Amino acid sequence: MQKTTTHSIHYILFYKPYGVLSQFTDAEGRPTLKDFGPVPADVYAAGRLDAGSEGLLLLTNNTALNHRLTEPRYEHPRTYLAQIEKIPSEPSLQKLRDGIVIEGKKTRPAVVTLLNDEPHFPPRPVPIRFRKSVPTAWIEITLSEGRNHQVRKMTAAIGHPTLRLVRSKIGFLTLEGLKPGKHRLLQPEEIKMLMESKKVRNFVA
């Protein structure tokens, strides 16, 4: 996404592929958002994903909305699908729901579900490590905070390291209709719903 000059307010959904940074420049020359087509010059990701994670990013130059989406006290929900090592027990899943102490601070309660079926995501360019003797499982986890590497640290704390991580939802916004590396503009009704849900005023669609 090459940046272009504009004075309008923009809202863009992007399916970030594996191995791409959630930014537009990198001194080390790693893949960034600029590699995926033109976007307005002043948009930024409202909540990043690390290079090894995939999934939904919301790019906007609405600074009030960006603040509401990233400031922990507003408890904005984000949903992830995580492929983890081994099959977790119900008590282990409950620990995730109740909160895990990470670096001296307990995580907020989360909504966690063990999936019966593997989600249909495109193959990752770098396959996950595979061990014949170790089964894997997929869980869906919805958080209301965005601490650094939070999902990975939470699953590791209960003995189930995360092998693949995909953010599937930001609030009510989903990956539906997007493929890795592709983006779309939010529709006016989606913008209205987003503004109302976050109580952001004085916006331009």
Active site residues: 50
CB atoms under 10 Å from CB of 76, counted, come to: 20
- Write b or e for each residue in 40-61: b if 16 or more Cβ atoms lie within 10 A of its Cβ, otherwise e: bebbbbbbbbebebbbbbbbbb
User: What are the angstrom distances between the C-alpha of 115 and each of 65, 106, 131?
Assistant: 32, 25, 20
In this structure, the strands spanning 39-40 and 3-4 are parallel
Q: Residue 133 belongs to what H/E stretch? A: none
> How far is C-alpha 180 from the geometric centre of its chain's CA atoms?
13
Single-letter amino acid code for the residue at 12: I
CB atoms near residue 118 (< 10 Å): 11
Query: How far is residue 106's CA from residue 99's CA, in Å, rounded to a whole number?
Result: 6
Of 183, 198, 153, the closest CA to residue 55 belongs to 183
Residues 6+ apart with CB under 8 A from 37: 1, 2, 183
